[in-house]
Amino acid sequence: MYICLEGIDGGGKSTQIKFLSQWLVDSGFKVEEVVEPTDSEIGLLIRKILTSPIATSSNTQRILGLLFAADRLTLMEKIAKFEEEKKIIISDRSFYSSLAYQNPQKWINEINKFAKKPDLVLLLDLDVDSAIKRCSREDEFEKKSFLADVRENYLKLAESDKTTFKIINANNGPNKVKSDIKKAVAPLFGICIDGIE
User: Under the rule (CB under 6 A), what is the footprint of ligand TYD?
Assistant: 9, 13, 36-37, 50, 64, 68, 93, 97-98, 101-102, 141
Closer CB to ligand TYD, residue 99 or residue 185?
99
Query: Which amino acid is located at 49 in the chain?
Result: I
Q: Is 123 exposed, middle or buried (0-12, 13-18, 19+ CB in 10 A)?
A: buried
Alpha helix stretches (DSSP H) within 51-195? 58-84, 95-101, 105-111, 128-134, 144-160, 174-185
Query: Which amino acid is located at 7 in the chain?
Result: G
Least distance (Å) between residue 44 CB and ligand TYD: 12
Closer CB to ligand TYD, residue 142 or residue 180?
142
Closer CB to ligand TYD, residue 70 or residue 191?
70
Least distance (Å) between residue 64 CB and ligand TYD: 6
Position with the least CB separation from ligand TYD? 101
Percent of the chain that is helix, strand, coil (3-state, to 5):
55, 15, 30
Closer CB to ligand TYD, residue 9 or residue 180?
9
